[in-house]
Amino acid sequence: MDYSILIGGAAGQGIETVVELLEKIIKRAGFNVFTYKDYMSMVRGGHNFMQIRFSDDEIYTYNSKVDIIFAMTQETISKHHDKLKSGGIIICDESFEENDFIKLPLQKLAKDLGNTKVVGTIGVGFIIKYLGISYDIAANTIKTFFKDENIDVNLEAFKIGYNIGENKYQLQSLEDDKILINGNQALALGAIAAGVKFYCGYPMTPSTSVMSYISRHANEMGIVVDQVEDEVAALNMALGASFAGVRAMTGSSGGGFALMVEALSLAGIMEIPIVLFNAQRPGPATGLSTRSEQGDLRFVIHAGHGEFPKMVIALRSPEDAFYQTARAFNLADKYQIPVVLLTDEYLADYDMTIKPFDFTKITIERYISNENEIEDERYKRYKYTESGISPRLVPGIANEKLVLVDSHEHNEYGNIDESIETRVNMMKKRMKKLDNLRTEIQEPDYIGAENPEYLLVGFGSTYGAIKEAVLRLNLTSEKFGALIFGDIYPFPVERLNYYSNKAKKIIVVEQNYLSQLKSLIDEYTDIKVDKSILKYDGRAINSDDIIQELNKFLSNYTI
């Protein structure tokens, strides 16, 4: 079984609440859920829609076709009726002009209940009955989902919707042992688990929900959250906090990240550990505020004037977002470098059921030295060492030694020094950290046939779509494999070279125009990429899209 429900309406109609309730009920009935969100940069009006896909099998992305459309506006029907599978249904209010659909007196019933906001809950009742999902699970979910004063009216609305509907399927409940979470929540949770104590940022879609999640738990977890005047302040402030010894973080989307670039370079020369993220949206400039793209890959890798070591990790899924974010703090602390997490609107916003996070797997490695271990009478913040990493003291925690960090080229003490010798030695010292970092970067995940004829290569949020495409393709012919990069700078090449040697055709899949991942492969390997499947319309690629494009390309070859 594999069903999808599309819920559409205007901004301000509360479709988000309907979706959150419905996906939670389906999740609690034990199914795997994947909810894709498509929304416009509007507070009122426009057209937003979300698709809840669910299955008793593992699912990794959204489907192109749907079984049920719950239309809260006429526009939902006109825009999406061609997505409906044959035998699918469209539910809407009786006042809608179209004829062939299931028309319910939603507005009237809600009015009778004295609350027009419960239209959506009536619809949920109808859908739950139609699918044959447990009434009790749904009713219990409603009791925990709404605020106290709204529970009764929503329960009533749910019952009415349930009673006016007809039943089509009988979906037996399964064991509910998963969590339902999106990429931004997972990223934020990873940061909190890693012990972030200072988070600052400026609101920018689609990054904002990380900050609001952390803020909601700030008092409970003892985290200072500061909404700064601009992103320039954000990274500088976070660097101050990190210098003072706490784990600090900031993040934004492309435009805000651009404003952080100056301070990213500062982190490079000051050698202050910092974790920051860029939740990409399509640019240039304001671009498409609420949509998704992978156009900032090269920008992030090269961000910052001058040359300095940094690390870039592309997040692939909510699970990856949690564990990689926590790992990023350890790497930043170990190498005293900025670690940039690269995510995007798609991953930030889609909800997915996954195995609950294992917090015992998270380690905290700070690499902060004790004052007594420092032999030099005057502390050398930038002492030359074999590894390029200098012992780090925290100002004020050290009782005797003084800590000086500097944005100029500096000597081992941190004092301005323009000599040729110092410049050359300090450049080598800093860049040596990049060499050492290379030894512990993670190779991309491999999925599929051990000896693939066709190798798909992607990074970050396309993970689910590529994985599902490969799994589907291999059902008929075990010829496909995929490598999906998480750690992407420094660029790991071992596994890429290994599988490329086996494959006849290499196909890159990414969401940008210039095929930036391909350009990295060109730069760091001798591999010839045969095809780039690119999507830059602001909408997330799914497995249907990939298979369709792949079939077009491979039509010249025998699969």
Partner 1 sequence: MKCEYELYKPSWCPGCGNYMIRDALKKALEDLEINPSKVVLVSGIGQAAKMPHYIGLNGFNGLHGRALPPAIGIKMSNKYLTVIVESGDGDTYGEGANHFIHTIRRNVDIAHFVHNNQIYGLTKGQGSPTTALGQKTTLQFDGVKLNPLNPLALSLTMGAGFVARGFSGDIEHLSNLMKEAILYKGYAHVDILQPCVVWNKINTFKWYKDRVYKLNDDYDYTDFELAYKKSLEFGDRIPIGIFYKVEKETYEQRFPFVENGEPLVKAELNPTNAQKLLEEFY
Interface contacts to partner 1, rule CB under 8 A: 176, 179-181, 185, 189, 192-195, 197-198, 200, 217, 219, 221-222, 224, 226, 228-230, 232-234, 236-248, 262-263, 266, 270, 326, 356-357, 359-360, 362-364, 366, 394-408, 414-416
- Residue 554: name the closest of 463, 493, 477 by CA: 477
- CB-wise, 288 or 374, nearer to partner 1? 374
Phi-psi region of 308 (alpha: psi -120 to 50; beta: other; left: phi over 0): beta
- CB-wise, 95 or 363, nearer to partner 1? 363
- CB-wise, 42 or 374, nearer to partner 1? 374
Q: How far is the CB of 157 from partner 1 (least distance, A)?
A: 23
- CB-wise, 239 or 455, nearer to partner 1? 239
CA separation for the pair 125, 442 (Å, rounded): 46
**Largest distance between two CA atoms of the chain:** 86
SS3 516: helix
Characterize the bridge pairing of strands 84-93 and 66-71.
parallel
- CB-wise, 332 or 449, nearer to partner 1? 332
- CB-wise, 68 or 362, nearer to partner 1? 362
Q: How far is the CB of 385 from partner 1 (least distance, A)?
A: 21
- Residue 505: name the closest of 438, 445, 556 by CA: 556
**What's the CA angle centered on 347, arms 480 and 351, to 5 degrees?**
100
Q: How far is the CB of 527 from partner 1 (least distance, A)?
A: 38
Q: How far is the CB of 228 from partner 1 (least distance, A)?
A: 7
- CB-wise, 112 or 376, nearer to partner 1? 376
- CB-wise, 223 or 341, nearer to partner 1? 223
Q: How far, in Å, are 157, 227, 348 from residue 252 at the CA level?
A: 39, 12, 12
SS3 185: helix
Q: CB-hemisphere CA count at 13 Å for 315?
A: 35
Cβ(138)–Cβ(10) below 8 Å: no
Q: How far is the CB of 367 from partner 1 (least distance, A)?
A: 13
- CB-wise, 272 or 509, nearer to partner 1? 272
> Token pair for residue 45?
């009006």
- CB-wise, 237 or 527, nearer to partner 1? 237
Torsion 409-413-415-416 (CA) sign: negative
Q: How far is the CB of 60 from partner 1 (least distance, A)?
A: 18
Q: How far is the CB of 186 from partner 1 (least distance, A)?
A: 9
Cβ(169)–Cβ(132) below 8 Å: yes
- Residue 274: name the closest of 244, 318, 229 by CA: 244
CA separation for the pair 10, 306 (Å, rounded): 47
Q: CB-hemisphere CA count at 13 Å for 59?
A: 27
- CB-wise, 333 or 468, nearer to partner 1? 333
Q: How far is the CB of 407 from partner 1 (least distance, A)?
A: 5
Phi-psi region of 552 (alpha: psi -120 to 50; beta: other; left: phi over 0): alpha
Q: How far is the CB of 147 from partner 1 (least distance, A)?
A: 14
Helix axes 119-131, 148-164, angle to 10 degrees: 50
> Token pair for residue 55?
């299955």
- CB-wise, 108 or 216, nearer to partner 1? 216
Q: How far is the CB of 32 from partner 1 (least distance, A)?
A: 14
- CB-wise, 402 or 424, nearer to partner 1? 402
Q: Which residues pair with 200 in a beta bridge?
A: 226
Cβ(268)–Cβ(306) below 8 Å: yes
Helices (H), 245-403: 254-270, 297-302, 318-335, 345-349
Q: How far is the CB of 455 from partner 1 (least distance, A)?
A: 35
Q: How far is the CB of 512 from partner 1 (least distance, A)?
A: 30
CA separation for the pair 421, 405 (Å, rounded): 19
Cβ(134)–Cβ(162) below 8 Å: no
What is the residue whose two structure tokens read 């990939």?
A: 546
> Token pair for residue 520?
């990295």
Hey, which bits of 126-252 come out as E strands? Answer: 179-182, 196-201, 224-227, 247-252
Q: How far is the CB of 187 from partner 1 (least distance, A)?
A: 13
